Each structure stands twice: as C-alpha cells, then as structure tokens.
Structure 1
Amino acid sequence: MSKVYLLCGQVAAGKSTYARTLAERECALILSADELLLKLEDRCQGPAHQREMEERIQAYFLTLILQLQKLGVSCVLDHGNWYADARAQVMRFCADHHIPCEVIWVRCHEQTRKKRLQARNAQLKTKQGRHYLIDEKMMARFDSWFEAPEDVCIVWSDADEA
C-alpha cells in the first residue's frame, strides 16, 4: 500500500536531501512545493501571498496524492510545512481517504543550518535560473513562522556532525 511522507522543518534543515533519500528507499515520488513555486513565481511577494500559494499548491498536491494512491505509488511532500494547520489538513485528508501518512520532522542544529545556507547561497549565485537566496535575517523570520509538531518521527540530518 502506498504512503504519504509529510516532511516538515526549518530552512536548511536538510528536508530536500532527506526527501531524495527517502524517495529512493521507498520508491516514492517527491512533490516539492518549492520547485513548483520557482516555476510559478518570479519573486517573493510577501508572507500573505506566500501562504496563499502554499495553500493552493497543497490543494493540488492532495489531488495528486489520490491519483498516486490509485497507482500504488507513495509520495514525499517536500516542503517546510511550517504551520500546524497545514500539516493537520494533510493528515485529515489522508485519514479520510484511508491513506497512511507519516509526519517526519527533519531537524538539525542552528549552526549547521547557517553553514548549509551559506554554502547553498554561494552555489546558487553561480547558477542560472530561478532560485531562493535566503540570508540569516530571512532565516530568522521564517523560523518565527515554524510551529513545531508534536508526536512525530524526528530525523536529525546532522547527527553525524554533532
């Protein structure tokens, strides 16, 4: 039976890296809200618009989950899923459709996140195309929006570095 893996975590916690590992291990499809946003938006348009776009993308992903379920394909929702209500919506949807759902909080230490963010920004500055450059001030703002989940699987992405 297919399953939904709902990742959540702060910026630069290692969610996308973990999503790739998990997708390979479970033969799952990654649904990335960030990748979709980069295709749809030219620039950041503020927190209200960001939240609206995330809600629309999540609604679209829920329709995809049903299609994937019919095909027997698991999926990894690769996004910060910072808000408890957004995570609850996915869990309710999955429960209503009898689809197993596992919430995984990808975490790492703040210093590791800052190092990763600096490395990511340096790499992205050399690439063409659309991408997110996030400085420490933005990271702190995004962190303030994150609502920590309870009673979920926690994966420390920097366990070998601590």
Structure 2
Amino acid sequence: MILMVGLPGAGKTTRARQLAAAHRALRLTPDHWMIPLFGEPMADGKRFVLEGRLLTIALQALRLGTSVVLDYGLWGRDERSALRWLARSAGAASQVVYLPVDTDTQLARIAHRQATAPHQTFPMSAADVDRWREQFQVPDAAELDGGEIPGPPPGWPDWAQWAAEHWPTCTDS
C-alpha cells in the first residue's frame, strides 16, 4: 500500500496516477468522490465516512494481492501509522511517499487548478494554505524508510480501534 502524503497542490494525484500505473495498483482518491457526492471537501464529517469505506476496499484489495495507492493527503502522523499498521495486518507492505511543496508553488498550482478545472476542486485561499501548513506533520525518517510503527496515542489499546474511530466506516473484513 502506497500512502501519498502532502498538502493540496503538492502533486500527490499526479504522482499517485504514475505509481498506480507502474505498480498496476488500485488508486483510491476521496477528492474524486466528495465533489460529486457532497459538493465540498469535508461535508460535515462525511469525508472520514467515505475514507473509511475506501479503506475497507483497500484492505480487501491488499488481501487479494492487489497493490493500492491511497491518495488521501495524510497530514497526521497518527493516520499514517494506523494505515501502515492496517496494511501490515492485511499481510502487505506499505510505503510513505511524501511530496513537499513550497508555498509559492503550492499557491500557483492551486490557482491553476481552480482556473482550469473548477468543477474538480475546492476553493482554497492563501489563509487556508497557511493554516494547513501549520497543521501538517511532516513525515519523519522512520516513516519514510518503512521503520518501526509507533504505538497508538495514549488512551488507545491498538491502531485497529484508533482507525475504527477515525474512519468510522472502515471495517476490517
């Protein structure tokens, strides 16, 4: 399972398409579902519901021997750790692919996307980008090298329960 990590405008979807073709992998991209279904990126928490359903499909595909590219963004270390753990529990390896982007390039790409494909994107302001950059947790060397998966946050007995809470529709069956 390949985990695409980066902010909007980093080039995740372009790279995810390349990796999916190279690995004959199933590419799962919530953004391609959110606009047609709900017309907005989060839709009162529905994004995590959708992501959970897509993760269920991803885990089934992994168990069938099909590679998967998750084009989610994955801003948080806990999300990435949970997904690495879920991939391992499905008998698959995982790889974190991080695409850093400087602010000027990011804003230019977002503006281009909004100008050329407004029906396929969400409005994003410079203030949004600044706020998101503060929230984003850059992957560390252990994540990028496929190192040890850390334990879940305090209060969680394991990553399966953390994932079930974060992505309420992700069923591991």
TM-score range, shorter chain: 0.7 to 0.9
1:83-111 superposed Cα distances (whole Å, 9 cap, x missing partner): 22111111111122221111111112222
1:126-146 superposed Cα distances (whole Å, 9 cap, x missing partner): xxx463121212212222221
- Separation in 2 of the partners of 1:22 and 1:69? 16
TM-score (norm 1): 0.78
How far residue 16 of structure 1 moved from its aligned partner, in angstroms, is 0.4
Q: Does 1:135 align with 2:159?
A: no
Is the 8 Å Cα contact of residues 42 and 130 (structure 1) preserved in structure 2? no
Match of 1:15 among 12, 17, 31: 12
Instruction: Kindly indicate whether structure 1 or structure 2 has the higher relative contact order, using CA contacts under 8 Å at least 6 residues apart.
Output: 1
The residue correspondences of 1:35-74 to structure 2 (distance < 5 A) are: 35-43=32-40, 49=44, 52-74=45-67
Is the 8 Å Cα contact of residues 5 and 76 (structure 1) preserved in structure 2? yes
The 1:12/1:114 distance shift into structure 2, 3 A limit, reads same
Letter in 2 for 1:144: E
Letter in 2 for 1:10: L
What stretches of structure 1 of length at least 5 have no aligned partner?
A: 155-162
The residue correspondences of 1:108-127 to structure 2 (distance < 5 A) are: 108-125=101-118
1:13-46 superposed Cα distances (whole Å, 9 cap, x missing partner): 0000100111111111110011122233133567
Computed over aligned residues only, the root mean square deviation of the Cα atoms, in angstroms, reads 2.1
Aligned length: 144
The 1:144/1:54 distance shift into structure 2, 3 A limit, reads farther
Is the 8 Å Cα contact of residues 41 and 47 (structure 2) preserved in structure 1? no
The 1:87/1:115 distance shift into structure 2, 3 A limit, reads same
Letter in 2 for 1:32: T
Q: Does 1:79 align with 2:72?
A: yes
Hey, what does 1:93 align to over in structure 2?
86
Letter in 1 for 2:12: K
The 1:130/1:19 distance shift into structure 2, 3 A limit, reads closer
- Separation in 2 of the partners of 1:5 and 1:90? 10
The structure with the largest strand share of the pair is: 1
Match of 2:139 among 127, 149, 162: 149
What stretches of structure 2 of length at least 5 have no aligned partner?
A: 146-173
Q: Once the two structures are aligned, what percentage of the paired residues are identical?
A: 26
The 1:114/1:133 distance shift into structure 2, 3 A limit, reads same
